[in-house]
Amino acid sequence: MKKNLMEKIRKLDPIVKSKELKFMEETSKLEEIREQRHGVFNKLRQTEKKYIDGVELLNEKKSSNILEATSFAQSLDYVKSNWHKTVTELKNIEQQEKSQINMVLEAQKELKSTEILQEKYRKDLEAFLKKSEQKNLDSIALRKEAAKSTIK
């Protein structure tokens, strides 16, 4: 029984380490995705500001020079197109982030279950060792009692 429990614990050690490594890798990927999302979000804010400023400027130019306003409107369409691309890119990254969060949670769940099993084996081994020690102490006490009764 003792050897069996020790063997189970020994076999679980590399599994726990691999699950820890997987959890750390998945967490690292999540952090990379979040950094990427942050960068795209900042890019979105900049593009959005350029577009809003451009619309305001276009409204000012419309009243003064129609030809210049038409040319400027075409440039503004390019900015708007970039803004839409950035919004789409941000949505895609947010979807990746959600997926990666699920991967991290799954890796964490697998690690936790393996650690719980390992802890159960350790507690079982500890209980077995305590029981064996108590058995030995009881046996020694019985021998002492038997020795005392034969001496009398």
| Residue 92 confidence (pLDDT) | 97
Question: Cα–Cα distance between 80 and 60 in angstroms, integer?
Answer: 18
Torsion (CA) 9, 15, 19, 25 in degrees, nearest 10: 130
| Residue 18 confidence (pLDDT) | 95
Question: Cα–Cα distance between 3 and 32 in angstroms, integer?
Answer: 44
Q: Mean pLDDT over residues 11-39, rounded? A: 95
Q: Is 65 left (phi over 0), alpha (psi -120 to 50) or beta?
A: beta
Mean per-residue pLDDT of the chain: 89
The helix (H) or strand (E) run that includes residue 126 is helix 66-151
Q: Mean pLDDT over residues 125-151, rounded? A: 84
Give the predicted TM-score (pTM) of the model: 0.71
Per-residue pLDDT reduced to its tens digit, 94-104: 999 999 999 99
Question: Cα–Cα distance between 47 and 81 in angstroms, integer?
Answer: 10
91 — pLDDT class (breaks 50, 70, 90): very high
Per-residue pLDDT reduced to its tens digit, 47-82: 999 989 988 887 777 767 666 767 777 788 888 999
pLDDT-above-90 percentage for the chain: 56
Select from 25, 82, 12, 16 the least CA-distant residue to 49.
82
